[in-house]
Amino acid sequence: MRQPSFARTALAPIILGLAVVLLWQGAVTAFAIKPFILPGPFTIGQQFGANIDNVLAGMAVTGRNALIGLVAGALLGILAAAVAALARVIDEAAEPIVAALAVVPIVALAPVLYTMFGAGAETARQIVAGLAVFVPVYVNTLKGLRQVRPIHRELMQAYAATGWQATRTVTFPTALPFVFTGLRIASSLAVISALVAEYFGGPLGGLGRSITSSASSSNYGLAWAYVLGSIVLGLVFYCAALAVEKLVNRRTGG
């Protein structure tokens, strides 16, 4: 029996998680910890259940911003990487800009963008998410486009294949797993950026705004319920991207 059994792989983490939740609740009750410091998991769960419609609505708003940012940023990243792969000059010119973009805390742009697009629009948040997505997608795609094995390149040459034929049959399929790795990394960044951008203003309704407003009205249980919603949203994005990546890699890894 080399494969760990189902009990070991699935049950063990669940039991551990339950134990942590119970310990947490036990500690909160036993030491009478004030809810503004840390509410118990039961309170959070209860608030989550009672406000499920609001939490889901918040997830929809923030999720929509993250998704729009993810799609737009990814498309832009892939396109820019393709251009950079074609023209060395552009790659060299873009390198410091991308490096700078990678270290800039992109959410810091949110307040500026709110003034640009108006505090009533979601645009600023989508742009923040898109910018955060752009970097990992661009970097990974560009790397992927450079992974063509010399033997495949020679084979295409021996077949007297045109540039476009070689790109279509070898370069793109080689780059594909790298693109999806970039997208997986970008997926959680999109959610985080869209959410944190809400902390700096803009319309109400999203998870970020809901967390701050609940906390400022001393509704700590509810604030944590929204945090739980954010975690779920992040996981949904990440798992979806991971599943797509796995699907793509199944045949392109070797």
d(CA 174, CA 148): 6
Q: How far is the CB of 242 from other proteins (least distance, A)?
A: 20
- Cβ proximity to other proteins, 29 vs 165, nearer residue: 165
- Cβ proximity to other proteins, 149 vs 246, nearer residue: 149
**Which runs of consecutive H residues, i.e. helices, occur in the chain?**
6, 12-30, 41-50, 52-86, 88-103, 110-117, 123-145, 150-158, 163-166, 172-198, 207-216, 220-252
Q: How far is the CB of 93 from other proteins (least distance, A)?
A: 26
What the block records as the tokens of 145 is: 């486009």
252 binds other proteins (CB under 8 A): yes
d(CA 228, CA 163): 50
What the block records as the tokens of 6 is: 């189902």
Q: How far is the CB of 173 from other proteins (least distance, A)?
A: 5
Size of the site for other proteins (CB under 8 A): 19
Q: How far is the CB of 140 from other proteins (least distance, A)?
A: 18
Instruction: State which amino acid sits at residue 58.
Output: G
Q: How far is the CB of 78 from other proteins (least distance, A)?
A: 18
Which of 3, 32, 160, 216 binds other proteins (CB under 8 A)? It is: 160
164 binds other proteins (CB under 8 A): no
147 binds other proteins (CB under 8 A): no
Which of 35, 45, 173, 203 binds other proteins (CB under 8 A)? It is: 173
Which of 24, 33, 152, 236 binds other proteins (CB under 8 A)? It is: 152
d(CA 5, CA 1): 8
Q: How far is the CB of 60 from other proteins (least distance, A)?
A: 36
Which of 56, 101, 121, 161 binds other proteins (CB under 8 A)? It is: 161
Burial degree of 161 (CB within 10 A; 0-12, 13-18, 19+): middle
Q: What DSSP assignment string belongs to 133-177?
A: HHHHHHHHHHHHHT---HHHHHHHHHTT--HHHHIIIIIHHHHHH
Window contacting other proteins (CB under 8 A); options: 5-13, 50-58, 144-152, 195-203: 144-152
Burial degree of 101 (CB within 10 A; 0-12, 13-18, 19+): middle
Which of 155, 215, 242, 244 binds other proteins (CB under 8 A)? It is: 155
253 binds other proteins (CB under 8 A): yes
Coil, strand or helix at 15: helix
Closest CA to 198 of 132, 85, 139, 114: 114
Which of 5, 157, 217, 218 binds other proteins (CB under 8 A)? It is: 157
CA 180 to chain centre: 12
| Site residues (vs other proteins, CB under 8 A) | 149, 151-152, 154-155, 157-161, 165, 169-170, 173, 176, 251-254
